[in-house]
A and B are shown apart, each in its own frame.
Chain A
Amino acid sequence: MKIKKILIANRSEIAIRIARACREMGIKTVAVYSEIDRNSLHTRYMDEAYYIGKSPASESYLKIDKIIDAALKSGADAIHPGYGFLAENSEFVKECEKNGIIFIGPSRDSIYLLGNKTRARTKMKSSGVPIVPGTTEPVRNYNLLEREAEKIGYPIMLKAAAGGGGKGIRLVKNGNELKSAFEIASSEAKAAFGDDTIYIEKAIINPRHIEVQIARDNHGNSLWFPERECSIQRRHQKVLEESPSAAIDSRLREKIGRTAVKAADAAGYNSVGTVEFLLDEKYNFYFLEVNTRLQVEHPVTEMVTGIDLVKLQIEIAEDKPIELTQDNIKLNGHAIECRIYAEDPEKSFRPSPGKVIGLRVPGGIGIRNDNGIYEGAVIPLFYDPIIGKLIAWGDSRTQAIERMRRALSEYLVKGIKTTISFHHKILNDQSFIDGSISTEFVENLLKTETEPDEQLSEIAVIAAAILSEINKSHIVTGDNNNRQTGSSNWKNFGMRMGLCQQCL
């Protein structure tokens, strides 16, 4: 069935990303928005927009009935859930089915199976996909948890059975830390997923986080894409991703790719999705989980293969067979994505919601911006702190790094704190440049105190003194330091910049 109108049940950059693919495909778009998002970019970008409730996600973007209502009212044939919110909620899929709306994602059965980590682990183990050692059953009581932990042997990871996106995960190095870690992981899991069930995995030392994008249609055709390296994480949240991984040669690439397809086959998967693995220091890989949605970091795969994954996802939802064959998937060059978060890297990455009073996004060859903000936009406290993604493509890893550094130096966000400066630090770190990284990378990097550039520091000091002098004597008029409203021209410019598409 040809889809003519899609409701995008999400916000910010990913809603825009999906709407862009829809526009290119001639599909009408429907936005939904919470109270605080009336003026957000996604609300304004789409053809139609429906209010769905108060600002907390639990009263808007997680409200299944409100979203279904909006879909019915707008006459949308399909709903794209993006990532987060309802993207991996099988109840939501059921409601879509009941109302004759196509859910753009895998079947309810796949989500049910893969959405729960312990069920998925059991299934993969029986299908011959290697899993990380640990429990395949949830551990509900603390005494049992203590016994299982001893049996598996520290260090261990506590993980939310319903987990994803790095929430509800804690590393436990020894028995003394178990109780507090259990409490925090459970309460975080409860808050994020409404389910506090926890299971145990043995912690693999210095692993790399490697994931494989796959696509599988209703007709059993499948594809795997070159891996993404996602080891640069902080508190189990990805910070920077790249494709391909510096650690993987073409033989291992094919082996992991085929294993990923095997996992998709076992789950009867029928959409685009991502199979996550841990790679240990001896290049053994273990199944971690399947993300049954479009990933935040999907652009790096698009950049190295030239394939629009959202378009592919929509076509699979239309029940079309995948036209591409595995031979069509060619790895071309290297791509890096920096996630730009509204967080203050100087103050242990605390959230920094607020109003964006200045915005300049980078451009030039090989640069892509997937943004959800504009100058004047307000970053609410209610949702994920991601405000955009900066992606750089180069013909080699070195060129991609150089290009990303250049692009970051052009990037300016004022009014809120962002992780832009932290990405600079990563891209100038020798281990990163050498490609010798693991999931410990960020923690180690945070321990090293890098001195700010002496020359630039002096310029900043001089500038501050001159500004103080000017402001004291009011020589310069029309100073816009305290500009609150800004002219509408600037806002419009910011909006355009926020929407600046890949400029190859």
Chain B
Amino acid sequence: MYYVGLKERENKVEINGRRGSIFDVKIDGKLRQVDFVKAENSYSLIIDGKSYEIDCEKSKNGYDIWMGGNYFQVSVLSEAQKRIQLSKKGKKSGGPQIIETEMPGKIVLVKKIKGETVKKGETVVVLEAMKMQNEILSPKDGTIEEMYVKDTQTVEASDKLFKIK
């Protein structure tokens, strides 16, 4: 059993058997026969005579899938991984949050200092990347507990920007 997430929805998918390139797949209680073949750098799926061409790359949580100009970010959990996730969930609480950059760039403006209170949606840091200024907003009402960056500093993707409580 796999727990496959796409957007907000989680789907339970079972692979019940395989004969050569034909996979027996159970999704939402429905059984599908999927002919799944790898070409040079893409995959071909034929399901009930319908043909689909997909490209994919492994991602952090699952797969990035491209199909006819559409792009899907799909997460996959095995049964074991799902159990771990469920046991972790109970412990989560609304503690301090560390905001990281999701893109590399240069800090052009630090608008808040340590100890300052901020409102949700307020600009905390302005980051320049690819010649555009991007305002990094506070995700919630709170206090800046730590400011990790200063003006003109260059940052890499997933560097810490600030901590908010």
Question: Could you say which of A453, A461, A475, A480 has the most chain B C-beta atoms within 10 Å of its C-beta?
Answer: A461
Contact A464 B69 (CB under 8 A): no
A457 within 8 A of B: yes
B54:A459 contact, CB within 8 angstroms:
yes
Cβ-defined contact, A192 with B131, below 8 A: yes
Which B26-75 residues have C-beta < 8 A from chain A?
27, 32, 34, 36, 38, 41, 43, 45, 47, 52, 54-58, 62-74
Q: Which residues of A contact B62 (CB under 8 A)?
A: 464, 468
Is B87 in contact with chain A by the CB < 8 A criterion?
no
16 contacts between A and B (CB under 8 A): A180-B123, A184-B135, A353-B130, A358-B57, A414-B55, A456-B67, A456-B68, A461-B6, A461-B13, A462-B13, A462-B27, A463-B56, A465-B13, A466-B25, A466-B36, A469-B15
Residues of B within 8 Å of A458, CB to CB, are: 27
A494 to chain B, nearest CB (A): 11
Most-contacted residue by chain A among B6, B23, B73, B130 (CB, 10 A): B130
Contacts of A466 in B (CB 8 A): 15, 23, 25, 34, 36
Type the 1/0 row for A400-427, where 1 means its CB is closer than 8 Å to any CB of B.
0000000011111011000011001000
Chain A residues near B (Cβ < 8 Å): 167, 180, 183-184, 187-188, 191-192, 235, 342, 346-347, 350-353, 357-358, 381, 383-385, 408-412, 414-415, 420-421, 424, 452-453, 456-469, 471-472, 475-476, 479-483, 490
Interface string of B78-120 (1 = CB under 8 A from A): 1000000000000000000000001111001100000000000
A230 to B106, CA, bound (A): 30
Once the chains are docked, how many angstroms separate the CA of A463 from the CA of B35? 10
Q: Which 6 A-B pairs have the closest CB atoms?
A: A465-B13, A409-B69, A460-B72, A351-B130, A464-B74, A409-B68
Q: B19 at the A/B interface (Cβ < 8 Å)?
A: no
A460 and B132 within 8 A (CB): no
The listed residue (B52, B63, B130, B132) touching A467 by CB distance below 8 A is B63
CA distance A324 to B25 in the complex (A): 64
B153 at the A interface (CB under 8 A):
no
The SS class assigned to the B binding surface is strand
Q: How far, in Å, is A330 (CB) from chain B's closest CB?
A: 32
Beyond A462-B27, A464-B65, A468-B2, 4 extra complex contacts between A and B, CB < 8 Å: A180-B123, A412-B66, A414-B66, A461-B74
How many A-B residue pairs have C-beta atoms within 8 angstroms? Tell me.
157
Q: Chain B's nearest CB lies how many Å from the CB of A99?
A: 29
Residues of B within 8 A of A412 (CB): 55, 66
The residues of B that contact A358 with a CB separation of less than 8 Å are: 41, 55, 57
Question: Which of A357, A385, A469 has the most C-beta atoms of chain B within 10 angstroms of its own C-beta?
Answer: A469
Residue B76 is within 8 A (CB to CB) of chain A in the complex: yes
Contact A415 B57 (CB under 8 A): yes
Q: Which residue of B lies closest to A424 (CB)?
A: B69
Residues on B with beta carbons closer than 8 Å to the beta carbon of A480 = 41
A184 to B43 CA separation, bound complex (whole angstroms): 46
B54 engages A463 (CB within 8 Å): yes
Find chain A residues with CB under 8 A from B66 CB.
412, 414
Tell whether, in the assembled complex, residue A460 and residue B74 are in contact, meaning their CB atoms are under 8 Å apart: yes
Question: Which listed residue, B32, B56, B102, touches A350 by the CB 8 Å rule?
Answer: B102
A464 touches B27 (CB 8 A): no
User: B108: nearest residue on chain A (CB-CB)?
Assistant: A187
Asked if B158 is at the interface of the complex by the 8 Å CB criterion, the answer is no
Instruction: Give 1 or 0 for each of B114-145: 1 = CB within 8 Å of chain A CB.
Output: 00000000010010111111110000000000
Best-buried of A385, A452, A460, A480 by chain B (most CB within 10 Å)? A460
| B71 / chain A contacts, CB cutoff of 8 Å | 346, 420-421
Contacts of B73 in A (CB 8 A): 346
Q: Which range holds the interface residue count of chain B?
A: 35 or more
| Chain B residue nearest to A469 in the complex (CB) | B15
Chain B min CB distance to A436 (Å): 24
Answer whether A465 and B57 are a contact pair too, CB < 8 Å, given A187-B109, A351-B129, A458-B27: no
Residues of A within 8 A of B56 (CB): 463-464, 467, 481
Q: Is the CB of B126 within 8 A of A184?
A: yes
Of chain A, the residue at the smallest CB distance from B62 is A464
CA A482 – CA B60 in complex, angstroms? 12
What is the bound-complex CA distance between A178 and B25, given in angstroms? 58
Q: Find out whether the CB atom of A353 lies under 8 angstroms from the CB atom of B104.
A: yes
A384 and B130 contact, CB distance less than 8 A: yes
Contact A463 B43 (CB under 8 A): yes
A358 to B45, CA, bound (A): 19
Given B47, B68, B102, which contacts A347 in the complex, CB threshold below 8 Å?
A: B102
Q: A342–B132 Cα gap in the complex (Å)? A: 13
Known contacts A463-B63, A481-B57; A381 and B104 CB within 8 A of each other? yes
Residues on the A chain within 8 Å of B133, using CB: 184, 187-188, 191
In the bound complex, CA of A460 to CA of B45 (Å): 10
Are A452 and B7 within 8 A (Cβ)?
A: yes
A351-B130, A463-B43, A481-B57 as given contacts; A408 in contact with B69, CB under 8 Å: yes
Q: Are A384 and B69 in contact, CB atoms less than 8 angstroms apart?
A: no
- Residues of chain A with a CB closer than 8 A to B34's CB: 462, 466
Contact B78 A472 (CB under 8 A): yes
Closest residue on chain B to residue A350 by CB atoms: B103
Measured between beta carbons, the chain B residues less than 8 angstroms from A191 are 108, 128, 131, 133
CB distance from B19 to the nearest CB of A (A): 12
- Out of B18, B25, B55, name the residue touching A465 (CB < 8 Å): B25
Is A457's CB under 8 angstroms from B25's CB? Answer: no
Highest count of chain A CB atoms <10 Å: which of B13, B36, B132 = B132
B106 nearest in chain A by CB position: A191
Asked if residues B38 and A476 are in contact (CB atoms below 8 Å), the reply is yes
Contact of A464 with B63 at beta-carbon distance under 8 Å, contacts A187-B108, A381-B129 already known: yes
